[in-house]
Amino acid sequence: MHTFKIWLRTARIRTLPLSIAGILAGTAIARADGYRDTLLFLLTLGTTLAYQITSNFANDYGDGVKGTDNETRVGPVRTLQSGALTRAQLKRGILFAAGLSALLTLATLYRAFGLERIGYLGLFLLLGALAIWAAIRYTVGDSAYGYRGLGDLFVFLFFGLVSVQGAQFLYSLQISGDAWLPAVSIGALSTAVLNLNNLRDRESDQASGKRTLVVLLGFENGRRYHYALCAMAFLGMCTFVYLKGITSLYTLSLLPFAIIFRHLARIARIHQPADLDPELKKVALSTFFIGLLLYIASHNFL
């Protein structure tokens, strides 16, 4: 396989739309309040994508080294597992992606804060460093938090609260009350995607010692947890739309839940882990479209 295609596969393109849902939502909140900066928007998107690619490279490496990715795994074959990349090659890829993430973080924060707001600059540099650390330490290292049932918490925080509130703060320089509900909803749906992944891989994860939340809860409780996450997301967005006015364009952001409800009906009938794999993209793309529709709706208020 061509080298570029191998790296593209390792970047897991289908996961990338999910990673920018929070940025779109946070930008929508700021834009509705009168803030706009196209360059900052593009830099923020680029930074978030770099974080996600770093995480995907590190996940491939960490699970491959630990033997979690093996012939019993249900999902797509990973590059280290298949031998398409060596450990050394993938480690260099992680370092490159992490370095690019750091550079884009610096550019984004300079655009947002300049050198005058040193306190904000320092705080967001710390958040950026934590994001890069979280991207790598999910599966890499002896104390990888993804092997201790903490992956869900980190996804909820970084894909939801930090992503949405952090994005809008870059524009407005203040915490927005309007951003909390979309942040919780997108965080819950992002966690639901991870939960689906862990439901699919439960048996192989358990056999290899990867103690995800699904391994700790069991398959049926993991399924109930999935319903709860989706319900939390729906209630959060319904409340947000109600507060904004049900006749506003923000109501459009509820449309992707039609796909999510059909997805939940499908989940109730699934008993084979392999059948869960197509469901991941349904939730991931629905989450992306919620963020995108919020962004589109925000243009009506300027």
Instruction: Over range 71-79, report the average pLDDT.
Output: 68
pLDDT at 246: 83
Instruction: Over range 252-263, report the average pLDDT.
Output: 97
Distance CA 301, CA 177 (A): 17
End-to-end CA distance of the chain: give it in Å, rounded. 49
**What are the CA-CA distances from residue 101 to residues 27, 44, 135 (Å)?**
20, 11, 11
Distance CA 168, CA 278 (A): 32
Range name among 73-82, 161-170, 215-224, 269-278 with the lowest pLDDT average: 73-82
Q: Which residue has the tokens 């994508």?
A: 49
pLDDT at 74: 64
pLDDT at 70: 63
pLDDT at 302: 40
DSSP 8-state code for residue 14: G
Distance CA 50, CA 213 (A): 26
Q: How confident is the model at residue 176 (pLDDT cuts 50, 70, 90)?
A: very high
3-301: CATH number: 1.10.600
pLDDT at 108: 97
Q: Which structure tokens are listed for 247?
A: 């006749």
Q: How confident is the model at residue 66 (pLDDT cuts 50, 70, 90)?
A: confident
Q: Kindly report, residue by residue over 13-45, the tens digit of the pLDDT.
A: 888 999 999 999 999 999 999 999 999 999 999
Beta carbons of 29 and 168 less than 8 angstroms apart = yes
pLDDT at 243: 94
CA count, 13 A, side-chain hemisphere, 181: 18
DSSP 8-state code for residue 299: G
pTM of the model: 0.93
Burial class (CB in 10 A: 0-12, 13-18, 19+), 106: middle
pLDDT at 71: 64
